[in-house]
Amino acid sequence: MGDDTSGFDCGVPSLTNWLQIRAIRNEAGGASRTFISCDADSGVVAGYYCLAASSLRSDEAVGGVRRNMPDPIPVILIGRLAVDSRFHGVGLGASLLQDAVLKAVEASRLIGARAVVVYAVDDSAVAFYRRFGFAIMPKSARCLYLLTADAEATVRELAGG
């Protein structure tokens, strides 16, 4: 991760600061992998997301996630996903989500994961993920999931067909 993140600002301080302060440390420590999208013309960081292996306790999960799974349930976490304010409204968030879900599906084929999980930062983010097939975990209105078995359809939808 050698990109200059100092000019990145998505409008949500916790997401901006995470990229600028924590991403490199998490990468070095093996806690997560961060994927960055840069503007082709200017080279500035336009958006990013990170993925990590994670788990859910059975009592946190809905029946469809919990069914026939060990406790804890293996999942792939989209730890962060953000787009710089200068690039809002051009579909970059959907493209980043498509790539994140695709990579999560690939990872689940190698290590096994029941679902892709995300903790949305606010109600707007909840609506964004719901638009692409993520469902809300009943015990947490900001925790959403997509079964890996359903993720391929979501990737096709995000690709526009």
Only one residue has tokens 């919990």, namely 66
Distance CA 121, CA 110 (A): 29
| CA–CA distance, 143 with 62 (Å, rounded to integer) | 11
49 has catalytic annotation: no
Q: Compare 3 and 80 and report the one with higher pLDDT.
A: 80
Considering the entire predicted model, what is its pTM?
0.90
Choosing from 48, 49, 129, 145, which is the catalytic residue? 129
Instruction: For domain 48-158, give the CATH number.
Output: 3.40.630.30
Confidence of residue 158 (pLDDT cuts 50, 70, 90): low
Q: What is the pLDDT of residues 52-98, one digit of tens each?
A: 999 999 988 888 888 989 899 999 999 999 999 999 999 999 999 99
With b meaning 16 or more CB within 10 Å and e meaning fewer, what string describes 121-138?
beeebbebbeebbbbbbe
